[in-house]
Amino acid sequence: MKFRKLVSLLSPGDFVSILFLLLLTGLNLAFQSRVPQWLTLVAINLAIVVVICILAWLAEHKKTKLLVGLHRWYCYAIILFIFKELYVMIHPIHPTDYDQLFIAIDRWVFGVNPTEWLARYAHPVITEILQIAYFSYYILFIILGVELYRRYAIEEFDKVAFLVVYGFYLSYIGYFSLPGVGPRFTLHDFSTINTDLPGILLTNILREIINAGESIPKNHPNPIDIVQRDVFPSGHTQLTIVVMVLAIRYKLRARWLLTVLGTLLIIGTVYLRYHYVVDLIAGGLLAWFTIWSGDKLESWWRMSTRHLAKRSMT
């Protein structure tokens, strides 16, 4: 009875986050001989699962604004933690990079390497604008979430939060399946990108912040060896499309800002040499799958938890 009651209190975002954390825990256990930090990661993952359950219970029974807010917003922090967990898991578990496959597909489709072709149109103003847009990636989710949290019922916020974190987890599975580092390492010289593709004022600073987020220290002699494998599919494309669709679906005031930023961001993924075009195509298809399957999963979870809540009261 108590277990049913607890499960009924979980939001759809709680549910999918717990499932993914348990999946990562299973992978760490299965490949413990390859992942040196496996025991630490398992302990942290299981601790987070417990914290999620406690937060869900407290948010329902205490109902303070702080606890309800923590329960709704923690998921955005978890996707960042899991992103870094993947950093220490993907390469040891799946050490093969598939960049040559992505390059071959782009050449077959377009007859050229798109990032090299776009270089002829590069201009510092364009670079600056697109680098700022690319950097705005995580800010898009905050803009989306804040307006939803203020204007809509908590159930609608939960639905959107679920679609976002579910989309992230789907992209993370892609990173495991087909690891890659991107054209800034394979088709271009990463060490000279600031001179090859200069901006105006913020470009270099924003690049350094993004590099740090992908675990590349400044002036590292072999950044390709340590960069995060997060190229295919393009999560930037996938989740940006999801954000734009949701902003339009809910008729948010910020939908035009999100659409403009999102469009520039997607263009920037190739222009700035972070992704191959095939990554964008895969990201677009995954965005469609995220929304299509996510809507169905969220509805199923709502019906299931209502049924469990009724049974726990009998």
Tens of pLDDT, residues 193-251: 999 999 999 999 999 999 999 989 888 889 999 999 999 999 999 999 999 999 999 99
The answer to whether the beta carbons of residues 232 and 178 sit under 8 Å apart is yes
Percentages helix, strand, coil for the chain (3-state, rounded to 5) are: 80, 0, 20
Dist. CA 134–CA 221, nearest whole Å: 25
Percent of the chain clearing pLDDT 90 (strictly above): 78
Going from N- to C-terminal start, the domains of the chain cover 2-312
Burial annotation 245-284 (CB, 10 A radius, 16+ → b, else e) = bbbeebebebbeebbebbebbbbbbbbbbbbbbbbbbbbb
What's the pLDDT at 314?
A: 58
The answer to whether the beta carbons of residues 128 and 202 sit under 8 Å apart is yes
Question: Is the pLDDT reported for residue 313 higher than 70?
Answer: no
Kindly state the tokens that stand for 309.
Answer: 């809540």
What's the pLDDT at 311?
A: 64
Taking CB atoms within 8 Å and a gap of at least 24, the contacts of 36-45 are: 36/88, 36/92, 37/88, 41/85, 41/88, 41/89, 44/85, 45/21, 45/85
Q: How many CB atoms lie within 10 A of CB 150?
A: 8
Dist. CA 145–CA 143, nearest whole Å: 6
The answer to whether the beta carbons of residues 253 and 259 sit under 8 Å apart is no
- Cis check: omega of the bond before 183, within 30 degrees of 0: no
The answer to whether the beta carbons of residues 23 and 86 sit under 8 Å apart is no
Average pLDDT for 126-140: 95
Average pLDDT for 43-63: 90
Question: Is the pLDDT reported for residue 11 higher than 80?
Answer: yes
* Cα atoms in the Cβ-side hemisphere of radius 13 Å centred on 253: 7
What's the pLDDT at 1?
A: 45
Model confidence band, residue 270 (pLDDT cutoffs 50, 70, 90): very high
Q: Average pLDDT over the chain, rounded to whole?
A: 92
Give the distance between the most distant pair of CA atoms in the chain.
70
Q: What is the DSSP letter of 219?
A: T
What's the pLDDT at 177?
A: 95
Average pLDDT for 250-268: 96
- Classify residue 76 by burial, with Cβ atoms within 10 Å: 0-12, 13-18, 19+: middle
Question: Is the pLDDT reported for residue 34 higher than 90?
Answer: yes
Average pLDDT for 259-265: 96
Whole-prediction pTM: 0.92
Which sign, positive or negative, has the C-alpha torsion 306, 307, 309, 314? positive
Model confidence band, residue 310 (pLDDT cutoffs 50, 70, 90): low
What's the pLDDT at 148?
A: 93
What's the pLDDT at 99?
A: 97
What's the pLDDT at 312?
A: 60
Average pLDDT for 6-13: 82
